[in-house]
Amino acid sequence: MILYLGRRLIGVAGIMLAICAITFTIFYLLPNDPAAAACGKTCSPDRLAEVKAAMGLDKPIWEQFGAYLAGIVAGRDYGSGPSAVHCGFPCLGYSYEYSLPVWDLLVDRLPVSVSLALGAAVLWLVLGLGAGVTSALRKDKPTDRILMVLSVGTASLPVYFTSIMLIWGVVRSAGLLPYPSYHQFTDNPFEWASNLLLPWIALALLYAAQYARQSRNSMIEALNEPYIRTARAKGMPARTVTVKHGLRSGMTPILTIFGMDLGGLLAGAVITESIFGLPGIGRLFYDGLLRSDQPVILGVTLLAAFFIVVANLLVDVLYAYVDPRVRY
């Protein structure tokens, strides 16, 4: 396992380096000039040249990329002399719109996106696995058909439509919950949960449908295996057969999609955060696109790639514990 993890970590480093290089090159080839945006509309040519030198944009692309990589592992300075700005480790660039290092912006927004992703993940796992297992145990019965029709229906609804309907029905019409905002969990756990409940539900309804269909198919396949029939023939309790043997065997594909979904959401849900006004990483990415703040866009892209790659690595490790056959 140690050798396997070592090889995978080397692969993770290679993937992150490739993503960084491709993304950096794309931003370099874009027609937008970050120095011109930072300098302003009334910027003179001399001042524009000074801003480019301070941002390191007057150098060839390979030197800019090398300085960017060095900044990630050791920090870097933007500009020189008394006006130099230091960007500490890990430096993912310096936002000229916020006048802050990109890493500081990400750390400030990360708790919002993590709270949103983890809460929604718990809901969609409970709803999706519950509906999928129930449908598998009642295959081709009315309960199975109703649950699958509901799952297809909820999967067909865009998240922005569900979010708007939840705001209109629960907040404005019924007044059951406050308009979503972010509160620190340590300050008041109840306010933290009540203000994030609607975004959790909006995301959970979208993802739970996929998990319901996937878990149903996996459970039906697992329950038809010979070892399941043997366990039943030996008189093993139905709950033990279903949970310990059937569900555990059918969890492998669920882990795969769960790792991808959770890894993507940890880097921000752009649409959900924008509609509910949550100051997460997704909203930061959206604002960066509107303002052409390329360091912010690049930083969020790298963070998203990091979460997805690490999530895939953790899923591969969990395979060995969920399904002992993987160890061999």
Please enumerate in sequence order all residues whose Cβ is within 8 A of that of 238, keeping only pairs 6 or more positions apart, or say none: 232
Instruction: Name the band, by pLDDT with cuts 50, 70 and 90, for residue 327.
Output: low
User: What single-letter amino acid sits at 309?
Assistant: V
Q: Which residues of 109-120 are buried (b: 16+ CB within 10 A; e: fewer)?
A: bbebbbbbbebb
Q: Is the pLDDT of residue 80 over 80?
A: no
In tens, the pLDDT along 108-145 reads: 999 999 999 999 999 999 998 888 888 888 888 889 89
End-to-end CA, the chain: 11
User: Are 291 and 97 a contacting pair, CB within 8 Å?
Assistant: yes
Return the higher-pLDDT residue of 190 and 264.
Answer: 190
Q: Positive or negative CA dihedral for 244, 247, 250, 255? A: negative
Q: Tokens 């020189």 — which residue? A: 80
pLDDT at position 326 is 62
Mean pLDDT of 181-206: 89
User: Are 284 and 111 a contacting pair, CB within 8 Å?
Assistant: no
Phi first, then psi, for residue 100 (nearest 5°) are: -140, 155
Mean pLDDT of 288-308: 87
Please enumerate in sequence order all residues whose Cβ is within 8 A of that of 154, keeping only pairs 6 or more positions apart, or say none: 205, 206, 208, 209
